[in-house]
Structures are given as C-alpha cells and as structure tokens.
C-alpha cells in the first residue's frame, strides 16, 4: 500500500471521527447526554452503530472528545519542561497559557457544554476519572524525572504527593472555570478572574514545591 493511499485512509478516518463527534455533540446539547442514544447518533451521522463504537468505545468519549489529550496534558508539560524549570513552574506556565488561549482542556467550553456536563451524572463521574488519570500520569513522570529534589523512582511517596498537590491545583482551577461559566460570566471575564486566582494558587504551592523536580540544565534567566 502506497504512502498516499495510507494517508487518504487516515484522512478519511479522521473525517468520519469528527463527523460522528459533531453530530453527537449537537444531539447531546439538544437532548441531554443521558437521553441521547448511540443509535440516534449513528443515524444522524449516517453510519452504523458499530462504526460509532469503533471510534468511541465509551459514550462519554463522544462528549469529552479531548479526553486523551486531557489525561496526558500535565505529564507531557512536565516531561518537556525547560532546563532548570521546576514542575510547578512548568505547570503554572502551561495553565496561564491555556487560559490565554481559552483552551477547552483548561475548562473553557461554553455555557451549554458546561451545563450538559453538570446535568449528567455519567459525564461528571467520567470527568473525575479523567482528573484522576491525569494525576496518575503526572506522578509517573515525576517518579522518573531527574533534577533537584526530583524523582525518586520506584514506589517513593514524594512524587505521588507532589502530583496530588499539583494536579489538585489544576483540578480546582478547571472547576472554577466551569463554575464561572455556569454563573453566566463571559469568557473574557472568566479568563481575567481565573488568571489572577491561578497566580495565587500557584504562589501557595511555591514554598513547598518551587524547586521540586527542576529539570537538569541551567536556570532560566
């Protein structure tokens, strides 16, 4: 099979996945997550039910379409941090950039979407699960990282404790964005409020984690 043919097939798969996701989101917002069936989504997208479940094994993943990116986000930021940069500094930089970009991974999704999640016990539970997965992935990266006060490897508790604190801050700020969204605040107003509150949250963590897991290399200027 030629590279061109493989590329076309992959492109077609991505188009089908996006089509299914778009129709699912439209139906979820119109009818509610719990009330919408896989059969209805398949019919709207004009594909078989099996096609829907092949692309999205869990119904929740149709609504939380960024779930893989979300679960891996904190670990990825810490793994790619600059030389001399601590885990806390990297995650602070990441979150404030996400707020600036109004990223859905940070919690910006609009009132209708936030309301849909809040009204669905299934989606609320899935979101908690994703936050837990994000913390676990972060702990794994910290356990293997070098640098000052860095990873201890194995089953040491320090990386898990640090991950719990760092991930809790991110979870709190995510939930704060959702809370302000449901309160009817504008996206720009939410960004301004949360950027200020995030700085305070990260400042609170600095005395204990400011130098933790600093990446090898010269300190940034």
Same domain, 38 and 144: no
Is 178 found in the same domain as 115?
Answer: yes
41 and 100, same structural domain?
no
User: Do both 136 and 196 map to the same domain?
Assistant: yes
| CA dihedral angle for residue 77, residue 207, residue 168, residue 144, rounded to 10 degrees | 40
One domain for residues 119 and 174: yes
**pTM of structure:** 0.85
N-terminal to C-terminal alpha carbon distance within the chain: 51
Domain that holds residue 203: 67-209
Rounded-to-10 torsion of CA 119, 120, 123, 129: 90
Residues 124 and 78 reside in one and the same domain: yes
45 and 17 in contact (C-beta within 8 Å)?
Answer: no
DSSP character string of the chain: --HHHHHHHHHHHHHHHHHHHHHHHHHHHHH-TTT--HHHHHHHHTS-HHHHHHH-SSHHHHHSTTHHHHHHHHHHHHHTPPTT--HHHHHHHHHHHHHHHT-TTTT---HHHHHHHHT-HHHHHHHHHHHHHHHHHHHHHHHH--STT----TT-HHHHHHHHHHHHHHHHHHHHHHHHHHTT--HHHHHHHHHHHHHHHHHHHHHHHTTTTPPSSPPP-
Is 146 in contact with 216 (CB distance < 8 Å)? yes
CATH number at residue 22: 1.10.10.60
Each residue's pLDDT, cut to its tens digit, for the chain (221 residues) gives: 666 666 778 888 899 999 999 999 999 999 999 999 999 999 999 999 999 999 999 999 999 988 889 999 999 999 999 889 999 999 999 999 999 999 999 999 999 999 999 999 999 999 999 999 999 999 999 998 754 444 444 458 999 999 999 999 999 999 999 999 999 999 999 999 999 999 999 999 999 999 998 877 654 43
Do residue 101 and residue 185 come from a single domain?
yes
In a domain, 219, yes or no: no
Tokens of 143: 């356990």
């Amino acid at each position: 099979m030629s590279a061109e043919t493989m590329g076309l097939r992959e492109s077609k798969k991505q188009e089908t996945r996006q089509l299914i996701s778009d129709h699912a989101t439209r139906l979820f917002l119109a009818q509610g997550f719990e009330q919408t069936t896989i059969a209805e989504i398949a019919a709207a997208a004009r594909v078989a039910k099996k096609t829907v479940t092949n692309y999205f094994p869990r119904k929740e993943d149709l609504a939380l379409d960024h779930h893989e990116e979300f679960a891996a986000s904190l670990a990825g930021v810490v793994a790619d941090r600059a030389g001399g940069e601590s885990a806390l500094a990297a995650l602070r930089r990441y979150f404030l950039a996400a707020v600036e970009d109004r990223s859905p991974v940070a919690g910006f999704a609009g009132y209708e979407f936030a309301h849909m999640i809040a009204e669905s016990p299934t989606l609320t539970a899935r979101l908690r699960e994703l936050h837990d997965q994000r913390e676990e992935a972060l702990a794994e990266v910290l356990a293997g990282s070098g640098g000052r006060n860095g990873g201890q490897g194995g089953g040491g508790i320090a990386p898990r404790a640090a991950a719990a604190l760092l991930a809790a801050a991110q979870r709190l700020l995510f939930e704060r964005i959702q809370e302000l969204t449901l309160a009817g605040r504008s996206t720009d107003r939410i960004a301004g409020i949360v950027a200020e509150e995030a700085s305070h949250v990260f400042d609170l963590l600095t005395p204990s984690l400011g130098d933790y897991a600093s990446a090898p290399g010269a300190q940034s200027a």
